[in-house]
Amino acid sequence: MVTKETVLQSVLSITVIVCVAAFCGVASGQESSYKLIKRVPIGGDGGWDCLAVDSAAKRCYISHASHVVVFDTEKEKVIGDINNTPGVHGIAIATGLNKGYITNGGDNTVTVFDTATLKETGRIKVGNRPDAILFDPATKRIFAFNGGSKDSTVIDAVKDTNIGTIPLGGKPEFAQSDEKGLVFVNIEDKNEIAVIDAEKLTVTNRWSIAPCESPSGLAIDLKNKRLFSTCSNGKMAITDYTTGKVIATPAIGKGPDGADFDPKTGLAFSSNGQDGTLTVIKEEPAGQFKVVETVATAPMARTMSLDPKTHRIYLATAKVKPAAPGEQQGGRRRNFEPDSFELLIVGPAAK
């Protein structure tokens, strides 16, 4: 016989089970749930490389062929354009100086622009095929990393003058600053991280990050002193930058290029262009790093930039044009459908 007491006990038992399951879901990473929130058409033709979020100014700078698109992250619309940046790759914002810097792989220069007007204020000659670029707040210096000449051109961001070149002994990719005088850069063809003294302009150390192959994207956790390198063999090499030792190599997607880290949530990200995914990684209390989520983005969305205030991630992509008979396409050198260039916005799912 089913009594009222039996029904009540059953309801209470179910409620407890549901509550425990919900708690376990949060504890296992459900609170880090991300999704593709919006796709914003940008248009125009040609390839792209890096994006750079200026969180304080509520902007995202997007490299695109021979110009930089300026996107308002609050209004979610394009508000400007910086032209004459042939073969553009990277963008760095000199915080507190009202300046930005752009690497132009097409003519081996760095464009200096005013962040208020978006007008070019100078152009500085650098090494061969400049790619990634970084502002170091400790020294107020810009480091342009030159893939062709395998070195870094250093610029005084106050005077906008070239103050030296640092030989790197390999092809540099993305870089990060510890904001205390050290700059770390992935050396793609050596499978290592080079450590630069930002004041003396010398390489002070080289750390192997094997089993990582061809590291590209690099992110940093200043609090816990970690570096996150995305690797072409489907791994993220996590390095303790106090020792130079690799402490974990969790799996990521295929075709990664970008990496980022959110200091508030403690999440690390890898943008994977071949898979069209975003890998989300978290450090567990036991010191283990695990993949907590794989978010669908879009094919070719390989680079990204994170806004630490909103926790949103911005990626760029375009639709690949089918190859003509006898035509070969591969890697980053592809043809794209006209006006298919777009910005993807990924962020925490609404609760």
Q: Give the model confidence (pLDDT) of 195-242 as tens digits.
A: 999 999 999 999 999 999 999 999 999 999 999 999 999 999 999 999
Q: Using CA atoms, how far apart are residues 72 and 54, in angstroms rounded to an integer?
A: 10
Question: Is the dihedral angle over the CA atoms 294, 296, 297, 300 positive or is it negative?
Answer: positive
pLDDT of residue 228: 98
Mean pLDDT across the stretch 325-341? 75
All domains of the chain in start order, with CATH: 47-208 (2.130.10.10), 216-324+331-351 (2.130.10.10)
When computed from its CA atoms, the radius of gyration of the chain, rounded to whole angstroms, is 22
Residue 61 — pLDDT band, cuts 50, 70, 90?
very high
pLDDT of residue 14: 35
**What is the residue-averaged pLDDT of the chain?**
90
Q: How far is CA 184 from CA 15, 35, 49, 173, 309, in A?
A: 51, 30, 20, 10, 24
pLDDT of residue 9: 41
Six-digit token pair at 8?
A: 């009540």
Six-digit token pair at 9?
A: 């006990």
Of 25-29, 128-132, 281-285, the one with minimum mean pLDDT is 25-29
- Contact call for residues 209 and 237 (beta carbons, < 8 A): yes
pTM of the model: 0.89
Residue 16 has pLDDT above 70, yes or no: no
Residue 29 has pLDDT above 90, yes or no: no
Region for 300 from its dihedrals, namely left if φ exceeds 0, alpha if ψ lies in -120 to 50, beta otherwise: left
- Contact call for residues 164 and 171 (beta carbons, < 8 A): no
Residue 322 — pLDDT band, cuts 50, 70, 90?
confident
Q: Using CA atoms, how far apart are residues 285 and 343, in angstroms rounded to an integer?
A: 35
pLDDT of residue 265: 96
Q: Using CA atoms, how far apart are residues 259 and 216, in angstroms rounded to an integer?
A: 8
Q: How far is CA 210 from CA 86, 146, 232, 236, 322, in A?
A: 35, 23, 12, 11, 36
Other C-beta atoms closer than 10 Å to the C-beta of 199 total 12
Residue 5 has pLDDT above 70, yes or no: no
**Which residue in 128, 118, 13 sits closest to 61, CA to CA?**
118
pLDDT of residue 287: 80
Name 320's Cβ contacts closer than 8 Å, sequence gap at least 6. 299, 300, 329, 334, 335, 336, 337
Q: How far is CA 17 from the centre of its chain?
A: 40
